[in-house]
Amino acid sequence: MRERLPGPESPGPASARLEVRRLVVRYAGVPAVDGIDLALEPGSFTALLGPSGCGKSTTLAVLAGLQRADEGEVLLDGTALGDTAPERRPLSLVFQKPLLFPHLTVAQNVGFGLRMRRVPRREAAAEVAAMLERVRLDGLADRRIGELSGGQEQRVSLARALVRRPRVLLLDEPFSQLDADLRAEMRTLVRELHDEAGVTTLFVTHDREEAVEVSDRIALMLDGRIAGSGTPQEIYTRPPTLRTARFFGFENEIRGQVAGGVFRSADGTVSARCDLAPGAATLVVRPEAVRLGPAGEDTGTARAGAGGIGPSVRVKDQRFAGTHVVVDVALPDGQRLRAHVPVGSEPAVGERVGVWLPPERCTVLAEVDPTRTSGTGAP
């Protein structure tokens, strides 16, 4: 059995609570990070998700001590880090590029931090060997960096970060330069290492599937602000805002009004129960949740809270997408609704079909985008 790395229940440095309060970073007077609050509980795995340029990496640089904040503070277990130098922070940062020493061997790269901390040579060698085994690089200790693949280089970076036994691990899009299969393999490895070590982890990524797969919680960052946060299931199935919904693939948006705890679309073809106050609202639903059936068939509109459209609507377009077929149907008001259906079950273009929006898969938000009309965000 492998020895467990120091974690919340192990002797040695425990994982820490990392907190960001009202953090602001400006470039040429323009906020790149605009007053965000973020809390990472000890031993948690949080994904900071967002598109390029939203402020994710800047936030990470502030946490690591590589960037000064204009306002706000970073606290570790309630203690402000302030001007604490990067090398004195009990944090490890893995960059997008491995940034390894090409003139050193794999083992020497992994053990570099231990050497700087003057860990006895024999003890450091044992820790390096154990860590190389954990990242599945045992047998490559004497290799030079130039002899490694991209995935192997990133494993060396992970090993170098974890062998220092940090209280917080920061990962800045570490797999973005790897191919799809290798990214999937590395995600699995990172999650395994986190569960073994119990170290508080913040994982920066622009890939929503990656964030959903690997993390315990997701904080979505847009335009320098936290737009929404929650567990992967919460934020993936019940987005808190329209912008969050759009980022997570809720392509269908239906505008309407809430009255008496019921949402009704502008053309009256869709209804759904909700607990919002009366007023304008938007119903969002993922395309894979939209169900199609034969025209005129009861596809579920009589069920409590279900959204029926029709009795039938016409298929405007369809295209093969590998694991499914994308089908666009025309709503009575001329807008389109998008559905993902199993390969082989797709209706033909021009065919009339019945549509059902399962109520448990619909979210009604007290927001309306005036640039869009009733129907769908799909093109």
Residue 38's pLDDT is: 96
Residue 300's pLDDT is: 43
Residue 305's pLDDT is: 43
Residue 128's pLDDT is: 94
Say if domain 251-365 classifies as CATH 2.40.50.100. Answer: no
Mean pLDDT for 27-37 is 95
* % of the chain exceeding 90 in pLDDT: 68
Per CATH, 18-237 and 251-365 having the same topology is answered no
- CATH number for 18-237: choose from 2.130.10.10, 3.40.50.300, 3.80.30.20, 3.90.550.10: 3.40.50.300
30 DSSP β-pair partners: 27
* pLDDT above 60 for 297: no
Residue 181's pLDDT is: 86
Q: Please report which confidence band the pLDDT of residue 13 belongs to, taking 50, 70 and 90 as the band edges.
A: low
pTM of this structure: 0.85
* Cα radius of gyration (the chain): 25
What does the pLDDT look like over 244-263, one tens digit per residue? 999 998 999 998 999 999 99
* Domain segments of the chain as ranges: 18-237, 251-365
What does the pLDDT look like over 187-222, one tens digit per residue? 999 999 999 989 999 999 999 999 999 999 999 999
Residue 311's pLDDT is: 55
Please provide the average confidence, as pLDDT, over all residues in the chain: 87
